[in-house]
Structure 1
Amino acid sequence: MSEHHFTLQGTWQGGREGTGSIQTTGFSSTISIPANMRGPGEGTNPEELLLSAAASCYLITLGILLKKRNLPVQTIHLESEGIAVVDPVLRYDRIIHRPKIILQNPTNEQSGLALALAKDAEINCMVSNAMRGNVLFHVEPQVETVSF
């Protein structure tokens, strides 16, 4: 078994109204509690970061699956939505991925395969698998066709 290590450095000053920062090899940001949760709303927050991790993993996985099947993909657009609930404490409840896969002159079979792979990508995503059992995942894919 091979291991892959990821590191992050962070700082924080203050309590609920405080701010901090995080930095990884390819990312840095100010962090705070979101304004809609009675925080200062500066930079990003854990809720957005968790959604970003799930969405970017899903998007990359989908791209890999579509490429492996040699589908005529022009581009993939993704909107992902994270929903948190208080039940009785605040927790992430579900994430909905809404990929729009743009295919160039696909056959009906290719369009159907793209829709199926959109569902498979969530099952194969490392981040989704780490959260599964605690967070529900839904995929609402669309395929659009462009002609050249």
Structure 2
Amino acid sequence: MVEHYFHLKADWPGNRNDIGTIQAQNLQTKISIPLEMDGPGEGTNPDEMLLGAATTCYIITLAAMLERSRIEKTSLVVESSAVVDVTNGIFTYKKIIHRPTLVIVNEKDSKMATRLLLKAEDTCMISRALRGNVEIELEPTLLVEKVK
């Protein structure tokens, strides 16, 4: 068994609407409650970071699967949205919607690419961690672009 450790330090100097900081090996930013939740909206927030973790895990997993399957791509972009429900003052991270757009070179790879667009979500580490708590929805687009 191999384990990997990741570390993050958070500093919060004040009360609810103050601004804190986080530091990790390759991440350093301000944090606060988002404007949508009546906060100052400085830096990032847990909602964006969870969405960012889910999106980056999905796109990196998909890219690795495409590479292993030798599917040549000209573009891979994912736009994601999060739905946070507020009921009786309780915030619940309800759903993440990924909208990947994959442009491949060979039409013969379409069937496998379609399968990988879906499979990447099932094998992504962050998606597996969220499973059972946050619904993850995919709205994939697959295009074929002939290389000249």
Structure 2 length-normalised TM:
0.95
1:145 paired to 2:147 = no
Render the CA deviation track for 1:74-130: whole Å, top value 9, x for unaligned.
Answer: 1201101111102442011010111000112x12x4112111111100000000101
**Alpha-carbon RMSD:** 1.0
Correspondence for 2:132: 133
CA distance in 2 between partners of 1:93 and 1:38 (Å): 19
- Structure 1 position 22, deviation (Å): 0.3
Correspondence for 2:38: 38
Render the CA deviation track for 1:5-48: whole Å, top value 9, x for unaligned.
Answer: 00001111221211100011011110000011100000000000
1:103 paired to 2:69 = no
Structure 1 length-normalised TM:
0.95
SS of residue in 2 equivalent to 1:122:
helix
Percent identity between the aligned chains?
A: 40
| Runs of at least 4 residues off by over 6 Å | none
SS of residue in 2 equivalent to 1:138:
strand
CA distance in 1 between partners of 2:138 and 2:87 (Å): 24
Number of residues of Structure 1 aligned to a counterpart in Structure 2: 146
CA distance in 2 between partners of 1:112 and 1:81 (Å): 26
Correspondence for 1:93: 94
Structure 2, unpaired ranges of 5+: none
Structure 1, unpaired ranges of 5+: none
Correspondence for 1:50: 50
- Structure 1 position 146, deviation (Å): 1.6
Aligned residue type for 2:38: R
